[in-house]
A and B are shown apart, each in its own frame.
Chain A
Amino acid sequence: MNSAANILVVEDEEVIRRFVKATLEDDGHRVHEAENMTRGLIEAGTRKPDLIVLDLGLPDGDGVGFLADLRSWSSVPVIVLSARVSELDKISALDAGADDYLTKPFGSGELQARVRAQLRRRGNSAAGESEKVTLGEVVVDLGLRRVSRSGELVHLTQLEYRLLVALIAQRGKVLTHRQLLKEVWGANYVEQNHYLRIYMGHLRQKLEQDPARPHYLLTETGIGYRLSAEAENQ
């Protein structure tokens, strides 16, 4: 369990703010509150939080604007809360730099789990890049560019490997289809979702114990993929 963190909650609805605060304080974190975007940005600048929980529908602007501003000077993890019908808001928030999302209504356990995952992620990256990452019985050696499963070498194609590396680099963070396609295939392929789907299928076949119920290579339906934060540095 991580030590107590500074967390900023930007949410205009008081009931939700209180609930989120109570849930996070229950986990031992220090929570600061802001009820609109302007206040939120000031708090984010002065309090130097370790994590921000951000509601997408704010009275003085939407969360995407907040993220655009924030990301110009901070890389603090952001979890967005959304009550919108469409997934497009979440995708644009993720593309703007959010790390994870929760759809209302969500449970307190779910919130705690996400916050923990993001804090751990930050801890991992703070510890510096490791040469080796384990996904259960799979070991990815980033230095040697080698992947093995239960000690046996797994043959990955170049693109499969690049996709895996892209996911490892941002493990725990939800990566949209667009972000992954741009990273692995290049800007010309950002609309070609089927590439991603097919290669993700290949990766799961090669690395997951049960490709139908992946444990590490997780699907965020309609949005993108995420490598589970359980992937450990070795």
Chain B
Amino acid sequence: MLVSEHRPDPDALLASLPRPRGRLKLFFGAAPGVGKTYAMLAEAQEKRAQGLSVLVGWVDTHGRADTEAMLSGLDVLPRRQLDHRSKVLAALDIDAILARHPALVVIDELPHSNAVGSRHPKRWQDVEELLASGIDVYSAMNVQHLDSLRDIVGRVTGVEISETVPDHVFDQADEVRLVDLPPDDLLHRLAAGKVYLPEVAERAAANFFRKGNLIALRELALRRMADRVDGQMKAQRAISHSVPVWATSHSMLLLVDGRHGSDCVRQCLRLARLLGAPWHAVWLDNGGASADERSAALAALQQAAEQGATTLVLSGQQPARLVVAYARRHNLSLLAMPAPLASAQLQRALQQDAPDLSLLLLSSQSSEKQPKRWPQWQLARRGWLASSLLCAAITLLASPLHGVLEPTNLVMFYLLGVLWSAVRYGRGPAALTAVLSVALFDFFFVQPHFSFAVSDVQYLITFVVMLIVGLVAGQLVASQRHSAAQARQREAHTRTLYEMARELGVALLPEQVGEISTRFLHASLGGSVRLWLPPDDDGALLPQEGADLGEDSAIVRWCYDRAEPAGVGTNTLPNAPYLYLPLKAPMRTRGVLVLAVPDRALLAEPDNRRLCEAVTALVAQTLERLHYIAVAQQTLVIMESERLRHSLLAALSHDLRTPLTALTGQAETLQRQLARDASPLAAQAATLQAQSQRISRLVTNLLEMARLQAGGVTLRRDWLPPLELIGGTIAALGSATASHRLQIDVPQDCPMLYADPLLLERLLVNLLENALKYSPAGSTITLSADATSSHIRLSVTDEGRGLPPGDPAELFTIFTRGERESSISGVGLGLAICKTIAHVHGGTISAANLPAGGACFSLLLPLETQPELDFDPEKL
């Protein structure tokens, strides 16, 4: 095998590049019935007429006759039937589309939610996948389905919209066509039954299709469209002037909380888009959030992340300082937060810490329910009980001392109790202890005894101080404890990563990598892990050793091919029981990590997701490192064997050529001497010389073949004008060419070859020698070169007897000769050498008989991009 075959084949490299993304064209309308589907199908028909392969993936005609007529002649994909709880649901068959790979696919109703069990929860995600695989898509949607406009539309029309499309899908669509119809015309169409069947139409006209609604929706649609065009113009201007209109310093930071999450995210998204600014969303976790609030806040972050924001959970007690530090770190200049969250204190603190940070208060007309405030009641039950008992115990202990100690000092015991209860059980029980303590102290020890009446007003101070101590201590302890827990978790994650990195650093086998990642992820998330790795550069992914998790190899493959995560918490197959993470290394995806966790909620935590991502990045880099170690070792072996082969050939060449040099040289001298002396032995000497020359040619060919066949041919490519190559070939043969007429046919503007000059000359020498050998003396041999758009052809044509009968390709195999028993010398190595040389250059060689008689040998080499001369010689 030749070493050159180990080199990456450029075609294969090209094929491995991602295919260009398909183009998305959206048909955008203000309301149902404006004719989006019709317009879309009409354009699809045009494309089909142009000869494009068009497939209709999904269209609902709603029984509209004219729309149905537009479908005629188009290829409609059958819908996939999904069984779900004894119901059969129709679904878009995305795999069938991918398999058929049409140039254009029509998929109506972009905002549609897919049936449970589909690959993606939303249809727009299906469309994304189709675009990513290089298929153009036509799709349609209405303005009320835009995520950022959902609330506004809901408020204007009073109709709750449940299916939405993220704005980035709309913004990033390659083309959007607005299908517009004035409200009156639409109402006419509705009345005429062209939109819905009559009974539905009546209901629709009463609710959604009120004229006021339609005007408002139309305005929204037109404005959104104008925004898009405006954005395009800005983008164009930015490109043409190459000055960013918005520096990164205008980035936004959104503060979310559990109560005003998704509403604020949407508002902020609209703003960010208006500003064309990147944005971040953070949630301040001060430990005071209930489980519901926590999950609501995390959901809001997830939503923001889907809309393109960078998200993070910040934990700590000083919101102003945390926020300012984060904004500084990421160079954010605009802080947005829901108005109720911005207490006067927070605003003051922000003003003080960062006067340059603009503050934006978002209105919150959240329809989301106010969650219950005391959800941890249950958990703290033991604390309440213990606190009450403690107060009773203190009272019992204090009563004998009553009269011995001043009441002021008795209060100290209670204060101790409040503090203990705060430290031990947190805020609630501490407050209870404070209240109970005040009550008991008042009842038993303050004049008048056994009554809650207070004669001395100064005891009120005692009560207030005790209450404050209890609450403040409780709050402090609770938040300290929360921060400590958070810090512990983060520290654990960091340590995990650190130790894992250290262990991966010394891992030498993929199996070790699998074992290490399993161990660490099990320790930190309690999950199990299995790696799926491709055995070599291409091929099926195989699971590493480890517990069989029952993962789906099709999902693994999908995740590997797209280099996108799938499974729990992602947009792809979120109902799958596992998280599939692609191992993306700098050069390529190295495999897939499948993670099964006992609690799916664990993966919703940004911290844990980040841990998973960091682990996958580490694993991927380790795998890449292992890959390159293997490559380096292989290269070392190849280099070593090449060196060995080279020295062996050099020694052989030396040992053969030295005696041959002496032999041919001495024979020549002898022949000349004898000829000068007119000796009768001169003829023998001439034979001796001719035969020794023949042996030396043979040896040259044999050594050449050995070198080529042994592999290790290092091509020393260089730019080579065909004319010079042909000239060199003729010069190399010297006087041997004198017996024939040589015609050279090279166009003036023939491009240069990029090849090893010596090898190519050897090839042409062999072909020319062949032509000289097999055509009669005095005939013409033509050496020519010409170029097509992709190749350069070099050919040697003679006027001899032509090729022997049989397959011409046979001629190029080792030790084949045209005629087995021939007086013409040569071992038939010549053409085999030619073939090998052509092959290592990525070219082909062929032979054919000419109709006019004679043979033609042609070499076809790929045409490379010609080098440029960086100055004009005439100017110098």
Q: Which residues of A contact B (CB under 8 A)?
A: 13, 15-16, 18-20, 22-23, 26, 57, 83-87, 104-109, 111, 157-160, 192-195, 197-201, 204, 211-214, 218-219, 221-222
Contact = CB atoms under 8 A, between A and B. Distances in A.
A158 B876 contact: yes
A16 B867 CA distance: 44
Nearest to B737: A213
Interface stretch (B1-9, B395-403, B718-726, B800-808): B718-726
Contacts of B707: 85
A109 B673 CA distance: 12
A221 B757 contact: yes
B876 A105 contact: no
A13 B665 CA distance: 14
Given A26-B669, A195-B869, A104 B659 contact: no
A83 B654 contact: yes
Given A193-B719, A197-B720, A85 B703 contact: yes
Contacts of A158: 873, 876
Contacts of A105: 657, 660-661, 663-665, 696
B763 to A, nearest CB: 12
Contact of A222 (B654, B716, B730, B876): B716
6 contacts: A23-B669, A107-B664, A108-B665, A157-B873, A197-B718, A212-B744
Contacts of A200: 724
A218 B721 contact: no
B145 to A, nearest CB: 59
Give the residue among A16, A194, A221 with the most B Cβ atoms within 10 A.
Answer: A221
B746 interface: yes
A85 B653 contact: yes
A219 B727 contact: yes
Contact of B867 (A159, A194, A204, A219): A194
B658 interface: yes
Nearest to B761: A221
A221 B649 contact: no
Interface string B841-876: 000000000000000000000000001010001101
Given A19-B665, A105-B665, A221-B728, A159 B660 contact: no
A192 B719 CA distance: 9
Given A193-B718, A214-B727, 5 more contacts: A15-B659, A15-B662, A105-B665, A108-B669, A204-B723
A86 to B, nearest CB: 8
B732 interface: yes
A108 B669 CA distance: 7
B254 to A, nearest CB: 55
A104 B761 CA distance: 18
B637 interface: no
Contacts of B661: 15-16, 19, 83, 104-106
B245 interface: no
Nearest to A103: B657
A197 B752 contact: yes
A83 B730 contact: no
Contacts of A20: 665
A104 B660 contact: yes
A19 B665 CA distance: 7
Nearest to B874: A157
Contacts of A221: 728, 732, 757-758, 761
Interface in B595-654: 646, 649-650, 653-654
Nearest to A195: B869
B198 to A, nearest CB: 79
A170 B726 CA distance: 25
B434 to A, nearest CB: 85
A194 B669 contact: no
B746 to A, nearest CB: 7
Contacts of A104: 657-658, 660-661
Contacts of B728: 219, 221
A109 B667 CA distance: 11
Contacts of A193: 718-719
A83 B673 CA distance: 27
Give the residue among A105, A218, A219 with the most B Cβ atoms within 10 A.
Answer: A105
B702 to A, nearest CB: 12
B727 A213 contact: yes
A158 B873 CA distance: 7
B657 A219 contact: no
B173 interface: no
Contacts of B718: 193-194, 197
B515 interface: no
The 3 closest A-B pairs by CB, nearest first: A194-B719, A15-B662, A105-B661
A26 B676 CA distance: 12
Given A15-B662, A23-B669, A109-B668, A201 B724 contact: yes
Give the residue among B727, B728, B742 with the most A Cβ atoms within 10 A.
Answer: B727
B665 A201 contact: no
Contacts of B730: 212-213
A146 B679 CA distance: 54
B731 interface: yes
Interface string B692-736: 010010000001000100000000101111011011101110000
A72 to B, nearest CB: 28
Contacts of B649: 85
B524 interface: no
A212 B744 CA distance: 7
B489 interface: no
Contact of B726 (A22, A84, A87, A212): A212
A26 to B, nearest CB: 7
Contacts of A16: 658, 661-662, 665
B664 A13 contact: no
B207 interface: no
A35 B498 CA distance: 66
A83 B727 CA distance: 24
Contacts of A213: 727, 730-731, 742, 744
B634 to A, nearest CB: 24
A19 B746 CA distance: 42
Contacts of B664: 105-107
A42 B440 CA distance: 120
A69 B392 CA distance: 108
B553 interface: no
Interface string B654-692: 100111111111101100110000000000000000000
Nearest to A225: B724
Contacts of A15: 658-659, 661-662
Contact of B721 (A86, A107, A192, A197): A197
Contacts of B744: 212-213
A211 B723 contact: yes
Given A212-B727, A219-B731, A157 B869 contact: no
A159 B583 CA distance: 55
Nearest to B757: A222
Contacts of B876: 157-159
A63 B693 CA distance: 27
A15 B731 CA distance: 29
Contacts of B724: 197, 200-201, 219
A108 B689 CA distance: 11
Give the residue among A19, A23, A201 with the most B Cβ atoms within 10 A.
Answer: A19
B190 to A, nearest CB: 73
Nearest to A189: B870
A19 B703 contact: no
Contacts of B731: 213, 218-219
Contacts of A108: 665, 668-669, 672
Contacts of A211: 723, 727
B723 A107 contact: no
Nearest to B693: A107
Given A16-B662, A23-B669, A107-B664, A83 B752 contact: no
B867 A83 contact: no
A108 B209 CA distance: 106
A158 B300 CA distance: 73
A198 B723 CA distance: 11
Given A197-B719, A197-B720, A201-B724, A212 B746 contact: yes
